[in-house]
Amino acid sequence: MQKVGIIGSASVGQTLAEGFKKHGYDVRIGSRTPAKLAEFSSKSGISAGTFADVAAWAEAVVLAVHGVAAEEALRQAGDQNLRGKVVIDATNPIADAPPIDGVLQFFTGPNESLMERLQAAHPEARFVKAFSCVGAARMVNPQFSGGKPTMFYCGNDAGAKAFVEDVLDKFGWERADMGSAAAARAIEPLAQLWCIPGFRQNSWTHALSLLWS
C-alpha cells in the first residue's frame, strides 16, 4: 500500500503527511476546505482534497481530526471509501473542557474508547490506533539521547497492524503491540499522561518508553 490519504489538515495531519512523503509514499491530505492547504501543498508538494476525495483515492488512511469530530469526519469521508482499508487512528477523545491540574478531560469513559466507536461505525475498515500518545513534533523519526521511544498500537486486523508496523519501523519507533481494538481504552489515556508535563511545566519534548527486563 503506497497511496496514503491523510484525513486532517492541522499539525498531526501535516506532520504525518510529510513523514509518509519523506519515506516514499504517495500522499494526499484532506480538509473540509482544501483551499486552506494551498500554501502547505505548494511547499510540500502534497495535494489536497476533501475528506471523501482523499479517502476514495487512498489505499490506507490516517485519521488526524479533532476527537469530538472524528465520527463526523469519517461520515464525510464516506464508509464506502473506507471499506477494507487500513485506518491509522491518531485521534484522542479530548472533551471541549479545560484540563484539570494538567489532566485533559475525555468524553469517553474508562471501559470504552473512541477507536472502538469508530470501528463499530465502520466495521469493514481496519482500524489501528497509533501516533496518539506523542506530540506531533516528535511523530516522525524523533531523536532522543536515550534511544528510540515506544509507540503503543492496537487493532483487530493482523494485516493492518503489519502495515503499521512497517510504518513505525520507518518512522523510527520501538513498537509495542497492545492487542485488539479494546486496548485503545488504555492507549488513548496515554495522551492524557503525555500532556501533563506540557500543561504543568510547559515541557512538550518528551516521549514514552516501555522497558523490558
- Rounded (10°) CA dihedral 101, 95, 62, 123: 130
Does position 192 bind ligand NAP by CB under 6 A?
no
Closer residue to ligand NAP, CB minimum distance, 159 or 188: 188
Does position 132 bind ligand NAP by CB under 6 A?
yes
**Smallest distance from the beta carbon of 71 to ligand NAP, in angstroms?**
9
| Residues in Cβ contact with 116 at an 8 Å cutoff, skipping those fewer than 6 apart | 181, 182, 184, 185
Site for ligand NAP in 149-188 (CB under 6 A): none
Does position 136 bind ligand NAP by CB under 6 A?
yes
**Smallest distance from the beta carbon of 65 to ligand NAP, in angstroms?**
3
| Residues in Cβ contact with 202 at an 8 Å cutoff, skipping those fewer than 6 apart | none
Closest to 129 (Cα-Cα) out of 72, 86, 171 = 86
CB 104 within 8 A of CB 188: no
**Smallest distance from the beta carbon of 11 to ligand NAP, in angstroms?**
4
Residues in contact with ligand NAP by the rule CB under 6 A: 8-13, 31-33, 64-67, 69, 72-73, 90-92, 94, 132, 135-136, 191
